[in-house]
């Protein structure tokens, strides 16, 4: 767009002001909020009635004909008696107000215009508030059904006249206003979160620019008293008069709870406060003050003003802090985080005991000035259902999820129409007042009655399936692993399909029964009188269960979470235990066959000692530790990482389990192996692996130290002696040494020729393609390891990009050495385009040592034989000669989840120079597994495998040396390939070569092929085995609702050059960039003095996606040098710095301004660069004004980092 055609600065200003955003001090006045009166039907009035709104991303039309208007609104034309919906990516949850001018056109007087909140992403459901001039009414209705929530209100509106329509949300309370007058109030619980949408019916409707006001909180039922409360894009700001308190108290009540908020105190004598366990007025209970004047945190009981504890710490006005208060029974703990780059505050700053208040309300308070709060959240249940409704009893958010607590039976349900379901939850019976029973309800009636309950019965120590209509127990069973006792979580899972219901407890199938009722409307939670807690409540239909795009069929993933390093692999009493990292915790799954894994609750959570990083576990069969009273049990050795200490003060601590790994106890207060640097040491010291050395009669522990490993020995598993180290210097050829394993294996199966294998994972390092898995073979004399190969010559265990942190199982039957790895790479860990999970694990592999091949002793790995149980049909091609012109011998063979066994013959003369398998093929997509004959090289090429825009170093080729064998003068190549929805694992020959890679092809990329290049090859035998899903329930897939695509970017930057990678696409939020690291989109023209304006937004349409970004000024053509205006909601800061040679450090920082910016909100940004002066305005307020002469001119650009950033209405004008 040429400069003369771009919108003028005035029109852009008009747009910004029309959405309620402010420029250059033109702030809208805040309203005074008094104690809110109740609505006509008891719905509380909402504290967001008059606050500063923000713009929302453009709605994208799903149905109807939508056109953006000159004032940034929308005009829609619908057909006769037809609906039209346009959906914005703007999400709303507990508290929000959406408003817009709505005009039904005079030439279609029978039309209706509505605002929709908490809508489905495809606009199929949500709360709709509509103006209907024809019938003279305003409605509040369910968009999915058309059902009115309350009777419509009479309102005489005229076609052709604009009316300001507003719908407000506060939990289940809804309010609809027109021109500032409340017409409808309602309480309804069917939708708790969703997106914003516009709806029209039967004609032409114009909507003015929609504007949103919101508080980021999961608390509801707010009432404010005193002062002014202003909900802005940079926090909920409260202003109190001198020497007075103003409070906002939520209707939410809790007993044991964590309350967190990010706090910014604006005035030097103001005090910001969190309230918990208070009365409705906030005048009794507990409070935590953040006081910059006294540089002090103070925890006190409000009634009586009793100080319970203080903490002296520097507190600056205008700075963001994260504060969290935990109340657990009579103990109160205060956590204080001051650093968002290296988060601290793990250890409590204040710990106090007080029993005056066991439960109460939650809220915030400000004294003697102004302060802002952002993300006011209480601990609560994690669930994929919404529309929860309490049918009976009392329910509260809790540290352990959602809590039932009372003297009567409790029931809480949510809509789940249909009969077939897979339900799961972690159920904990209260410690001091346990409920007699607690369970999962399914196939219930609309009012919550009837259906069935999988009941954990404490009173009878049984698991039962109960017909709730009759009270009959259809099946009962004793708990398969441990007795039912209070205070520990039990994983309860239900699979209800047709007339069959199966219940698992603690990961074990416990009961199975036939039922007669196969339909229902609701699912939920039930508990007897007393206390029970429920967490991780998941309910899916069979077609939705583990069927997401890229979800593996037979590789282990968590249902939701971030899986990484395998930990604590151990076989015990008939079960294989797979622990693995989940963001500093040990997640847990069990299996009896190494193929079908069942998830259990987190085994090692965060604790007072810090995070539980990687480690191992063993069976203490003879109680050498003394922890099991003469019995046996599991002992886990984990890396304790304390976020508050330098380098985490990494050390080895112990936890142990007496009940087959279902619950764990921490051992002692001190580590069993401290950091080598001492009590405050910051050395790399992690990932302990423990093994029993039968030859020398001792336990051996190996711990990684960054550039070496340390060996320790013990006789009791608790007292360890350092005996030697291995590594340093030339031994280190990759990145940091991590995740060691150490074990003996016989060479060629000969028990008299035993060598020891030391495996390591290294990374991150660019010269080793990010991450590698290496190993050494050598000797062990009980104290010292000696490698058979010299320094600088590590051996690759897997030549692919995605095999890391592999360790082996302790105690596998029949002396098998089995290991498993994390399929990822530190170049792009957790950046993969998957949701709601990140990270998958390889198939389990069996390890052996071989001296064949003339290159010394080498590690061989073969997929375990147990995988053959998944085979569900085989297609074979036998003795087929293939030339470069032959038709595809695998034509017509398709699949997503399969195994290929291939033996390929290469003749003595005229042989192909290369052979290739094409996997997961469709037009433009394929993963190639090939073999280069002259080089004896196996390779996997994923360049065209599917999307790779999410990271820089994903696409490419991995190779491994593989010599062929010879049979009757014909060279033979043997391959085994395991293909899944998002991975390929290739094993060459006898397992000497392995290549593991993630791939992300489209779900319909199902083809496969074989080619011979430059000559002839013979398919001696190729067998394609279809592999059934180890986790899926049948082959049916129910696709989730799809958000509309499209959108347009408005601006005058011209064509943009993207470097070094990433995807930049137009969306309703503007030009949106996605990338895991820095991605720049640079304009071609150069400017020196300039004014730049943009509407900037971070995060994705889904709540899980975050991101940060920068506006680049006076940048070089490659973006490596220039000014960066960085806005980072994760760090709660706006920074201006110089970028030199593609990087920056603290010395290049020109300005840093703490701001409560957040994801999911659009911010107007204006930059003025005149000579050496640079000014930055956010939401109309000047926040940066600096002088710097580093760069005089250059290009303008946009940047995204670590997620998604979007830019709209972006204009740069030379001055």
Active site residues: 565
Q: How far apart are the first and last CA of the chain?
A: 18
557: number of Cβ within 10 Å: 23
Contact yes or no for 533/527 (Cβ under 8 A) = no
CA angle (1186, 1189, 1194) in 5-degree steps: 105
Q: List, as one string, the DSSP characters of 1069-1107.
A: TEEEEEEEEEEEEEEEEEESSEEEEEEEEES-SSTT---
SS3 1113: strand
Burial letters 467-493, b for 16+ CB under 10 A, else e: bbeeeeebbbbebebeebebebbbbbb
SS3 542: helix
Contact yes or no for 276/357 (Cβ under 8 A) = no
ω into 104 cis (within 30 of 0): no
Kind plus residue range of the DSSP H or E element containing 10: helix 9-18
Which one, of 492, 601, 495, 597, lies nearest residue 545 by Cα? 495
280 burial class (0-12, 13-18, 19+ CB within 10 angstroms)?
Answer: middle
Which one, of 421, 544, 522, 414, lies nearest residue 1040 by Cα? 544
Give the C-alpha separation, 16 to 1179, whole Å: 10
Give the C-alpha separation, 510 to 492, whole Å: 10
Give the C-alpha separation, 1157 to 1135, whole Å: 12
Helix-, strand-, coil-residue percentages of the chain, each rounded to 5: 5, 55, 45
Which one, of 1125, 1132, 822, lies nearest residue 983 by Cα? 822
SS3 1033: coil
Give CA separation, 1048 vs 68, 250, 640, 1070, 1209, in Å.
10, 40, 49, 6, 10
Give the C-alpha separation, 487 to 507, whole Å: 18
Which one, of 602, 555, 559, 557, lies nearest residue 583 by Cα? 602
Which one, of 163, 104, 107, lies nearest residue 133 by Cα? 104
Which one, of 712, 733, 730, lies nearest residue 721 by Cα? 712
854: number of Cβ within 10 Å: 6
Q: Kindly provide the residue ranges of all beta strands, DSSP E only, lying in 818-944, ordered along the sequence.
A: 818-822, 837-838, 845-850, 858-863, 871-882, 898-906, 914-922, 925-932, 937-941
Which one, of 694, 861, 843, lies nearest residue 780 by Cα? 694
Largest CA-CA distance found in the chain, in angstroms, rounded: 97
Contact yes or no for 436/529 (Cβ under 8 A) = yes
Which one, of 1167, 1108, 1117, lies nearest residue 1142 by Cα? 1117
CA angle (491, 492, 493) in 5-degree steps: 120
CA angle (1072, 1076, 1079) in 5-degree steps: 55
């Amino acid at each position: 767009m040429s400069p003369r055609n771009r919108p003028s600065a005035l029109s852009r200003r008009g747009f910004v002001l029309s959405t309620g955003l402010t420029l250059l001090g033109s702030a809208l006045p805040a309203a005074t909020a008094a104690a809110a009166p109740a609505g006509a039907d008891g719905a509380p009035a909402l504290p967001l009635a008059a606050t500063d709104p923000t713009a929302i991303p453009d709605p994208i039309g799903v149905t109807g004909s939508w056109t953006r208007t000159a004032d940034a609104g929308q005009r829609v034309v619908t057909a006769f008696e037809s609906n039209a919906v346009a959906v914005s990516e703007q999400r709303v949850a507990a508290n929000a107000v959406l408003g817009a001018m709505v005009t039904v056109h005079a030439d279609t007087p029978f039309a209706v215009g509505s605002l929709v909140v908490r809508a489905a992403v495809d606009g199929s459901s949500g709360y709709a508030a509509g103006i209907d001039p024809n019938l003279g009414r305003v409605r509040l209705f369910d968009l999915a059904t058309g059902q009115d929530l309350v009777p419509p209100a009479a309102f005489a509106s005229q076609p052709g006249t604009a009316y300001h329509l507003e719908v407000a949300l506060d939990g289940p309370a809804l309010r609809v206003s027109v021109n500032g007058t409340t017409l409808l109030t309602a309480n309804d619980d069917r939708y708790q979160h969703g997106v914003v949408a516009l709806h029209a019916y039967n004609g032409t409707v114009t909507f003015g620019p929609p504007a949103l006001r919101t508080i980021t909180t999961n608390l509801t039922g707010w009432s404010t008293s005193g002062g002014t409360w202003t909900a802005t894009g940079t926090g909920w700001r409260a202003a109190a008069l001198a020497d007075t308190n103003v409070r906002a108290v939520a209707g939410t009540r809790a007993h044991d709870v964590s309350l967190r908020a990010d706090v910014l105190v604006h005035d030097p004598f103001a005090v910001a406060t969190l309230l918990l366990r208070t009365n409705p007025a906030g005048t009794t209970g507990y409070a935590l003050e953040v006081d910059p004047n006294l540089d002090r945190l103070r925890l006190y009981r409000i009634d009586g003003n009793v100080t319970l504890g203080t903490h002296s710490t520097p507190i600056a006005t205008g700075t963001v802090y994260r504060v969290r208060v935990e109340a657990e029974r009579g103990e109160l703990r205060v956590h204080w985080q001051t650093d968002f780059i290296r988060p601290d505050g793990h250890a409590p700053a204040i710990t106090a005991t007080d029993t005056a208040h066991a439960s109460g309300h939650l809220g915030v308070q400000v004294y003697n000035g102004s302060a802002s709060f952002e993300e006011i959240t209480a601990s609560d249940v994690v669930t994929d259902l919404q529309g929860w409704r309490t049918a009976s009893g009392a329910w509260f958010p809790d540290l352990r999820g959602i809590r039932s607590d009372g003297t009567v039976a409790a029931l809480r349900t949510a809509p789940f129409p249909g009969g077939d379901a897979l339900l799961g939850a972690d159920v904990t019976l209260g410690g001091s007042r346990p409920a007699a029973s607690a369970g999962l309800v399914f196939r219930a009636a609309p009012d919550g009655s009837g259906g069935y309950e999988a009941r954990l019965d404490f009173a009878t120590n049984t698991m039962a399936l109960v017909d709730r209509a009759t009270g009959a127990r259809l099946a009962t069973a004793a708990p398969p692993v441990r007795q039912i006792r209070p205070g520990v979580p039990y994983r309860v899972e239900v699979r209800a399909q047709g007339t069959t219901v199966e219940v698992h407890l603690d990961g074990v199938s416990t009961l199975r029964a036939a039922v007669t009722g196969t339909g229902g409307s609701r699912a939920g939670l039930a508990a007897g009188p007393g206390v029970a807690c429920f967490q991780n409540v998941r309910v899916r239909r069979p077609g939705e269960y583990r069927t997401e795009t890229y979800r593996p069929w037979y590789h282990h993933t968590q249902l939701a979470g971030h899986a990484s390093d395998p930990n604590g692999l151990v076989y015990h009493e008939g079960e294989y235990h797979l622990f693995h990292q989940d963001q500093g915790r040990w997640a847990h799954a069990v299996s009896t066959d190494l193929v079908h894994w069942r998830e259990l609750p987190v085994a090692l959570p965060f604790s007072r000692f810090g995070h539980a990083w990687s480690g191992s576990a063993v069976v203490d069969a003879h109680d050498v530790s003394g922890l099991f009273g003469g019995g046996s049990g599991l002992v886990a050795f984990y890396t304790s990482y304390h976020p508050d200490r330098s380098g985490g003060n990494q050390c080895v601590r112990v936890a142990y389990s007496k009940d087959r790994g279902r619950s764990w106890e921490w051992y002692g207060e001190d580590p069993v192996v401290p950091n080598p640097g001492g009590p405050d040491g910051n050395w790399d010291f992690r990932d302990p692996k423990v093994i029993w050395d039968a030859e020398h009669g001792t336990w051996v522990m190996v711990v990684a130290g960054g550039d070496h490993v340390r060996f320790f020995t013990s006789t009791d598993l608790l007292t360890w002696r350092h005996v030697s180290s291995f590594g340093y210097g030339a031994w280190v050829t990759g990145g940091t040494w991590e995740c060691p394993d150490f074990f003996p294996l016989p060479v060629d199966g000969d028990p008299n020729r035993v060598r020891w294998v030391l495996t390591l994972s290294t990374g991150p390092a660019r010269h080793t393609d990010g991450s590698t898995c290496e190993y050494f073979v050598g000797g062990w004399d009980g104290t010292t390891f000696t490698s058979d190969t010299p320094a600088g010559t590590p051996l690759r265990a897997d030549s692919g990009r995605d095999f890391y942190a592999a360790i082996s199982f302790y105690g596998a039957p029949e002396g098998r050495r089995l290991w498993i790895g994390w399929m990822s790479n530190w170049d792009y860990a957790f950046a993969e385009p998957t949701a709601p999970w990140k990270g998958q694990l390889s198939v389990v592999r069996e390890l052996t040592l071989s001296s064949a091949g003339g290159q010394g002793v080498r590690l061989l790995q073969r997929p375990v034989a147990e995988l053959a149980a998944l085979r569900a049909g085989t297609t074979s091609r036998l003795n087929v000669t293939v030339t470069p012109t032959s038709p595809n011998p695998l034509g017509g063979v398709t699949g997503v989840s399969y195994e290929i066994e291939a033996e390929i013959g290469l003749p003595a003369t005229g042989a192909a120079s290369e052979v290739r398998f094409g996997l997961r093929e469709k037009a433009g997509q394929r993963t190639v597994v090939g073999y280069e004959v002259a080089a004896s090289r196996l390779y996997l090429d994923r360049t065209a495998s599917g999307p790779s825009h999410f990271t820089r170093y994903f696409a490419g080729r991995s190779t491994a040396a593989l010599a062929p064998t010879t049979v009757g003068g014909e060279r033979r190549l043997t391959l085994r390939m395991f293909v899944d929805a998002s991975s390929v694992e290739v094993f060459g020959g006898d397992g000497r070569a392995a290549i593991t890679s993630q791939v992300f092809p489209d779900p319909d990329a199902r083809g496969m092929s074989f080619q011979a290049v430059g000559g002839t090859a013979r398919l001696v035998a190729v067998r394609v085995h279809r592999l059934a899903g180890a986790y899926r329930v049948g082959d049916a897939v129910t696709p989730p609702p799809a958000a509309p695509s499209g959108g347009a970017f408005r601006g005058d930057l011209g064509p943009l050059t993207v470097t070094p990678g990433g995807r930049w696409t137009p969306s309703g939020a503007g030009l949106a960039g996605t990338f895991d690291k820095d991605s720049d989109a640079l304009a071609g023209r150069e400017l020196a003095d300039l004014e730049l304006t943009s509407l900037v937004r971070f995060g994705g349409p889904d709540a899980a996606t975050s991101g940060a970004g920068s506006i680049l000024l006076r940048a070089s053509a490659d973006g490596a040098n220039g000014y960066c205006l960085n806005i980072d909601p994760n760090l709660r800061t706006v920074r201006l710095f110089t970028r030199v040679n593609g990087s920056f450090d603290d010395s290049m920082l020109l300005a840093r301004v703490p701001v409560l910016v957040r994801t999911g909100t659009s911010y107007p940004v204006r930059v003025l660069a005149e000579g050496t002066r640079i000014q930055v305005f956010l939401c109309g307020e000047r926040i940066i004004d600096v002088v710097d002469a580093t760069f005089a001119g250059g290009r303008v650009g946009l940047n995204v980092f670590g997620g998604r950033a979007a830019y709209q209405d972006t204009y740069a004008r030379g001055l």
